[in-house]
Copies of this chain bind each other. A is one copy, B any other.
Amino acid sequence: MAQPQSGRTIVSRPPVGITGNERMAALSDGIFAIVLTLLVLEIRVPEVAPEELSHALSEMWPKAIGYAISFVVIGLYWVLQHNMFQYIKRHDRTLLWLNLLFLMCVASMPFPSGLIVRYANEQAPVIFLAVSFIATGLSLDLIWWYASTYRHMVDERVDKTLIGLVHQRLLISLIFHFAAIGLSFVNVSFAKLMFILAVGLYLLPSRLSAYHHQESGPKQATRGE
C-alpha cells in the first residue's frame, strides 16, 4: 500500500495484458506432472528367474540414480517457473506461446536424459543434453524478459534489482552447460560433472531468495491469515 519509490522505475509504466494466468499454470503443472511420472516408467520390473532377482535389482542402481537426478532437474525447472509466475500476473498471446515453447523444451527432456543413461560414455548424448538445458533455460529467461521488461505484466514487488537477480539465476547455469559441450570433446565424465554442478548451484541458497523474502515476506505474511 505504501508504494516504495526508490529504484522502481518499471512500475511507473501502466501494466498491459489480461489478468488470469491460472490456465497457463494448470497446463504447465499438468505437463510437469506427466514428465515427472513417466520418468520412472522407464525403470521396468526385471523379468528374470526368482533366484536371479537380487542380482538383477543390484544392477539397477545406475537407473535409479539417473531417475532421481532427472526428477530433481525437472523439479528444478518447475520451481523456477513456479517462482517466476508468482510475479507475472498478466499475459498476452505472445506470453502464452513463450510458455508453450518452454513446455516443449521440458516435455522433450526425457529424450536426451534417456540417451545419456543408455549411452553413458558417448559424446553425442552430452551435447544433446547440454543443448536441451540451454534451450530450456533460455526459453524461461525469455519469458521473464518479455513479461518484466519488454511488456509490463508483473506485480508491484518487481523492481530492477529483482529483474536482474532472476536473469542472473537463470543464465549463470548456462556457463556450466556450455562448458559441458566444450569438455565433451576432451572427457565425457568431466562434461557430465558440469551438469551436476549446474544443478547443485540451484540447490544452494541464493541472493534472489533472500531478496525475495526480504521484499515479500512481511507483506505476504500480513495477508496470510
Complexed CA–CA distance, A17 and B57 (Å): 41
Listed residue (A90, A103, A104) with the most chain B CB atoms within 10 angstroms of its CB:
A104
Q: Which of A33-41, A139-147, A160-168 contacts B (4 or more CB under 8 A)?
A: A33-41
Q: Which of A105-113, A171-179, A193-201 contacts B (4 or more CB under 8 A)?
A: A105-113
Q: Size class of A's contact patch? A: 35 or more
Q: Contact between A26 and B27 (Cβ–Cβ < 8 Å)? A: no
- Count the copies: 4
Are A71 and B57 CB-contacts (below 8 A) given A29-B23, A33-B27, A34-B33?
Answer: no
Which residues of chain B come closer than 8 Å to A185, judged between CB atoms?
Answer: none
Complexed CA–CA distance, A20 and B220 (Å): 10
Complexed CA–CA distance, A89 and B20 (Å): 13
Mostly helix, strand, loop or mixed at chain A's interface? helix
The answer, yes or no, to whether A97 is at the interface (CB within 8 Å) is yes
The answer, yes or no, to whether A114 is at the interface (CB within 8 Å) is yes
Which residues of chain B come closer than 8 Å to A26, judged between CB atoms?
Answer: 25-26, 29-30
List 16 A-B residue pairs with CB atoms under 8 Å apart, sorted by A's residue number. Answer: A15-B221, A16-B217, A19-B223, A23-B25, A23-B29, A26-B26, A30-B34, A31-B33, A31-B37, A36-B107, A40-B107, A40-B110, A79-B96, A79-B97, A155-B225, A156-B225
Sample of 14 more A-B contacts, CB < 8 Å, known A23-B85, A35-B37, A50-B119: A14-B221, A16-B221, A17-B221, A19-B223, A25-B26, A27-B29, A30-B33, A34-B34, A38-B41, A41-B110, A45-B111, A75-B97, A92-B213, A93-B209
